[in-house]
Amino acid sequence: MCSPVSSPSAISSGAPLKSNVGGGGWCKGLSDCLILGPKVSRNIKLVQTPQYHHLLQEKVEEREKELEKQKEMKSMYKMRLERTQNYLRYCLQVAQDNGFLELIINNKEKQQESVSSSSTIIHATASPPQQQPHSDITYLIHQAKLNGWYIEPHEIEMDEEVAQGSTAHIYRGRWRGYEVAVKCVLPDFFLLNENGVSFFAQEVETLSRQRHRFVLQLMGACLDPPQHGWIVTELLAMTLKDWLHGPGKRRKERSIPLPIFEERVGKAMEIAQGMQYLHEHKPMVIHRDLKPSNIFLDDSMHVRIADFGHARFLNHEEKALTGETGTYVYMAPEVIRSEPYDEKSDVYSFAIILNELLTGEYPYIQTHYNPSKIALEVAENGLRPQLPEQEDEQLEELIQLIQLSWDEDVALRPSFRAITSTLTNIHHKLIRSNI
């Protein structure tokens, strides 16, 4: 190691600095110290001993174990989250069944009315803000007037109520001499749901674009929510559910005779044709709530696919947003699990309906499960309705079609074009055999 540098006085006096190199004197400077330091090779090669390899292998194994543990934890948390979601859905269903939700909503409305009354007294002199029309409705009004299906509320003569739903009531009515069905969306649907106007506009727009004999025909609409959000369609008195099972709630025992086999296959064929039209529409229309109570029959007993409240336009190769939409009993497992899905979710729903038409039984009626339990079993354990017993070649072919259409692997489910072709061939065979 070099000795300390000379004192400042020595430097200032101009005395020469001595080096200890060869003569035992002092360094000339820092550069000399660095030069005189020990020589170190710049090309050091680590000796990779067996112990080194063993240590490295242990570290790699530790990292792999840690990654595997993280994957397991992630899977476990995902499963817990899904189960929690399913349990919350079950709680929501129970609350709805027992009227708790209605009680909460009514209580909230009373609080809002109380706050509104107080605000009116305090701000009695202030002018109320003008409500701006929703952009979706503004566009739809323009389209309706342009295409001749805009209806003013006073043009409709309302008669008796024929059905009730959670978001709308349906009335029999008359418009320009026609008997019509008027779906009146409840004002609360718009007031309590920030997207209510958009959902209503989407349903009306979906119906306005459809022109097919097996899809419900839109006559017009009143486009002034929240008080006049009305959808006016052709009047159809019977649903596929009523035709197959009779009126009333789900039960094991039949209340009416089972329609003949040929007619049931014919109804399935017409539904498939209507759904093929919707799926091949540009942009594609996914129904997302296909079930017997949303399929009506006209006076000639031909089907009309209806209730596009959950429908969604989908561009080519686009996936629908995650989130459950529809009815649990007919809902595809990927939708229940809140995974991205496409038009094949409608194919799954159709498979449940087709099996229901063949067996004449409500789906899962033998299990005694409630809808939430059914959804859980479908999503996690592959539960499906009981298939009919194979009696002949046509029935065997139909069972194969059902099993493909509700397959867990979405890619294996056929398109409605393929389904229509299969059902048409079977239906023609049935007709020829009865001649």
Could you tell me which residue, 392 or 184, shows the higher pLDDT?
184
Average pLDDT over every residue of 150-177: 92
Q: Is the pLDDT of residue 109 over 50?
A: yes
Q: Is the pLDDT of residue 12 over 60?
A: no
**Predicted pLDDT of residue 82:** 67
- Asked if residue 296 is part of any domain, the answer here is yes
* CATH number reported for the structural domain that contains residue 205 in this entry: 3.30.200.20
State the chain's mean pLDDT as an integer: 80
* pLDDT bucket at 107, cuts 50 / 70 / 90: low
User: Is there a contact between 308 and 233 (Cβ–Cβ < 8 Å)?
Assistant: no
* pLDDT bucket at 83, cuts 50 / 70 / 90: low
Could you tell me which residue, 315 or 327, shows the higher pLDDT?
327
Q: Are residues 210 and 316 in the same domain?
A: no
One-letter amino acid of 162: V
DSSP-assigned letter for residue 249: S
Range of weakest confidence among 24-33, 106-115, 121-130: 121-130
* pLDDT bucket at 33, cuts 50 / 70 / 90: very low
**Predicted pLDDT of residue 20:** 47
- Asked if residue 175 is part of any domain, the answer here is yes
Q: Is the pLDDT of residue 435 over 90?
A: no
Give the structural domain span for 287: 240-434
Q: Cα angle vertex 366, ends 287, 338, to 5°?
A: 35
Count of domains forming the chain? 3
**Predicted pLDDT of residue 127:** 43
* CATH number reported for the structural domain that contains residue 428 in this entry: 1.10.510.10
**Predicted pLDDT of residue 277:** 96
Report for 72-76, 84-88, 259-263: range of highest mean pLDDT = 259-263
Q: Are residues 156 and 255 in the same domain?
A: no
Average pLDDT over every residue of 402-411: 98
Range of weakest confidence among 148-162, 297-311, 397-411: 297-311
**Would you put residue 24 in left (φ > 0), alpha (ψ -120 to 50) or beta?**
left
* pLDDT bucket at 312, cuts 50 / 70 / 90: low
- Asked if residue 18 is part of any domain, the answer here is no
- Asked if residue 6 is part of any domain, the answer here is no
List the helix and strand counts (H, then E) for the chain.
14, 10
Range of weakest confidence among 80-89, 167-176, 267-276: 80-89
**Predicted pLDDT of residue 102:** 63
Give the number of other Cβ atoms within 10 Å of residue 333's Cβ.
Answer: 22
**Predicted pLDDT of residue 35:** 47
User: Is there a contact between 212 and 277 (Cβ–Cβ < 8 Å)?
Assistant: yes
Q: Are residues 197 and 290 in the same domain?
A: no
Q: Is the pLDDT of residue 130 over 60?
A: no
Q: Are residues 292 and 366 in the same domain?
A: yes
User: Is there a contact between 330 and 354 (Cβ–Cβ < 8 Å)?
Assistant: no
Q: Are residues 425 and 370 in the same domain?
A: yes
* pLDDT bucket at 243, cuts 50 / 70 / 90: very high
- Asked if residue 215 is part of any domain, the answer here is yes
**Predicted pLDDT of residue 406:** 98
Q: Is the pLDDT of residue 85 over 80?
A: no
Question: Which residues are the active-site residues?
Answer: 289
**Predicted pLDDT of residue 73:** 61
Q: Cα angle vertex 93, ends 349, 372, to 5°?
A: 45
For the record, the structure tokens of 300 come out as 């000639």
Q: Are residues 326 and 184 in the same domain?
A: no
List pLDDT tens digits, range 138-152: 989 999 999 999 999
As beta bridge partners, residue 295 has 305
pTM for the model: 0.67
